[in-house]
A and B are shown apart, each in its own frame.
Chain A
Amino acid sequence: MKKLKFIGNPLLQSREKINMSSDKKWLTLKTTEDNEEFVVEESVAIMSNVIKNMVEDGCASSVIPVPRVKGNAMGKIIEFCKKHTEESDEKVLKEFDAEFLNLGPDALYDLMVSANFLEIKVLLDSVTTKVADMIKGKSSEEIRNILKIENDLSAEEIEESRRENCWTRQE
């Protein structure tokens, strides 16, 4: 892991003081792609291993910039993390996840990329399970449609694969 470099802006530290309620610590996450800011409780933000490490290393004093994650994805991620920090009942969480992940493939992929980047294992597990369920038992054509995969294999290559792996279903 490369060492994290973070240079805090001293002017923004005063803003952090205004935001605080007495017993909770708050962090501001800023998506650098579209400059949206999200104020979250530290306990929610540290569900991301990346942010957790930054906080523990002492480099997260004011605004934490988050590249590669768009504002709407960040919003959804925070919603997910908040629910999982607040709720401990397995059943309730399962229902929440099912509802939460009722998204189209684009949104699911955004979530997967972001969850991987931010190292949020619980979210990554949920999304990958959902995607696996989506492709389980489907034919190759169906999977290509669901995941929008462009078929760049030639007919011969496909035939060769089928021969090498003689178990492939006939389509």
Chain B
Amino acid sequence: MVFLYVMETRSAKRKKLLDHVDDNESGEDYLTDLPDAILHYILFLLPIKNIAQTCVLSKRWRHIWYSFPDLDFTTVRQKEGMKFINDVLSIREKQHCCSDIRVLRVGGSFVCSQLNSLIRRAVKSCNVQHLEIDVVTNECFNLPRSVARSDSLRILKMKLLGQGFRLSIVRDGFQTLETLSLSNVVFNEHPNVVMDPLSFPSLRKLSMEKCRGLRHLRVYCQTLVKFSLSECSELDNLEISCAKLEKLSVSRCFNSASSRSSVKIDALKLDRIMWKGNAITDHSSLHNLRSLQKASVCFESVTAAHLTSMSKFFIGLSQSKCLKLETPCFELLSKNKHFAGVIYEAFVNLKSLELHTSKIQELASLFRSSLSLHKLIISITSDSKVHKSIASTQSDRNLSSSSSDERYWKSQSQASKPFLHELKSVTLHGISESEREFSLVKFLLGNTRVLQEMVISCAAGRGCRRLERIESRVMQFYRASFDAKIVFH
């Protein structure tokens, strides 16, 4: 006899074992065969008020509502909201077997005391696993300590508009918490915050945003895999030391007025780092980033005074295979040949580089470097001092300089050979019809022996005609690589 024996999925309370004698008796509804989990699945798609209304359909459906695992009250925003929530929770408590909640989402406007009792109830009586609060309160809210004592909470997301909230980090707290997301937290009374492994022993994902008054942050949770920090503009010192961290993103942080700011990162498994719009710190120390694959860096504003720190920052990233540099990094490096040289030499694994610049001729210093890139992406930003005039007058002006551009690039060709001979793919964004740019394109096409693809993308809003003109000109340039395909956007 051939048979197949399979356990049904996800039926929490009413496990229906394989029962071949389950034909519908006449008159019974369709739903007897369906486990609770599927009926819950259907209802997930409806707003909670509609779901609650199904409790009057029949005994089964009443049970379905009472045992509904995920309660999303964010669609309930009127004044009766709090009463509704409390009523629902009370009914469930009366039912004994149904009081546990898997997901609880709350939105709207609350008085602090109401929010406090709701959260304590959810954590203590309902053993909530996933709690999301996105509310506005009348004053600064203090997150109750009982939240940290929960042994069921895995995901906590708190966003309080307006006055924000305070969080106290409790030793031996948050034992089961895996994901923590905080927005608009007030740290003014405790500007020195440590996310340590004893207070967050299971934490895998951490996101902190708009942390007011946060001056010093140290994160060394040993299970952390993803960390994101943003809009902490008073931050002086950031120290991250997490052996399992794979993705790090820091944006719009650091106090540019500080004179002792610092960043220290030690993350052996770090795969990706995004550093965007941060003020450069006075000291940078990045160690052990041996697994780094992709790095994207954009400093808020960099002056010559910070060159050493910036240089150390980059050298810390030097194991990376892929680097993206936004303004003004590249231009600062081009002006400081010594630092540029040290940095280029450090990036031994780099295969893909993306940079933004407005000074085309300064790319020559990059072409003379020891980097052996396969892929190069250049975004030409407009120099704010030079007004881009219409094509005709520009070509008049540039006729005299086009030959000097060409001569310039010709002079670079010998020194650029080692660099250009490795390039397989080049992308140029923001191309207009300036002679400077045509000279660059001509130079690149004429000296890249193994080029497979060149992508030329017009500056935004320039229209088809311009693209056609650019295309017809570029297609006439000599190509060192017969295989090269040129694509125009």
- Seen from chain A, the residues whose Cβ lies within 8 Å of a Cβ on chain B are 1-2, 4-9, 32, 50, 63-68, 105-106, 109, 112-113, 116-117, 119, 124, 128-129, 131-132, 135-137, 140, 143-144, 147-153, 157-158, 161-162, 164-169
Contact = CB atoms under 8 A, between A and B. Distances in A.
B34 A109 contact: yes
A165 B87 contact: yes
Interface stretch (B57-65, B165-173, B179-187, B223-231): B57-65
A151 B5 CA distance: 34
B87 A166 contact: yes
A34 B395 CA distance: 80
B34 A119 contact: no
24 contacts: A1-B7, A6-B2, A50-B6, A65-B4, A112-B38, A113-B34, A116-B9, A124-B38, A128-B45, A132-B43, A135-B42, A140-B54, A140-B57, A144-B57, A147-B57, A149-B57, A150-B28, A153-B56, A161-B55, A165-B52, A166-B83, A166-B84, A167-B49, A168-B53
B38 A168 contact: no
Contacts of B22: 68
B77 to A, nearest CB: 13
Given A8-B2, A147-B57, A165-B84, 4 more contacts: A2-B6, A143-B54, A157-B62, A166-B80
A117 B6 contact: yes
Given A2-B6, A128-B41, A148 B87 contact: no
Given A67-B20, A117-B8, A162 B29 contact: no
Contacts of B55: 161, 165
A116 B42 contact: no
A149 B29 contact: yes
B88 interface: yes
Interface of B: 1-9, 18, 20, 22, 27-31, 33-35, 37-38, 41-43, 45-46, 49-50, 52-62, 80, 83-84, 87-88, 91
A122 to B, nearest CB: 13
B145 to A, nearest CB: 32
A140 B51 CA distance: 11
Contacts of A7: 1-3
- Among A50, A65, A116, which residue has the most Cβ atoms of chain B within 10 A? A116
A167 B84 contact: yes
Contact of B2 (A63, A129, A168): A63
9 smallest beta-carbon distances between A and B, as pairs: A132-B45, A109-B30, A128-B42, A2-B7, A149-B29, A113-B33, A148-B29, A65-B4, A149-B58
Contacts of B62: 153, 157, 161
Nearest to A7: B2
Nearest to B57: A149
B9 A66 contact: no
A140 B56 CA distance: 7
B30 A106 contact: yes
Contacts of B2: 6-9, 63, 65
Contacts of A164: 87, 91
A135 B57 CA distance: 12
A149 B43 CA distance: 16
B52 A4 contact: no
Contacts of B27: 150
A140 B53 contact: yes
A32 B18 CA distance: 13
A64 to B, nearest CB: 7
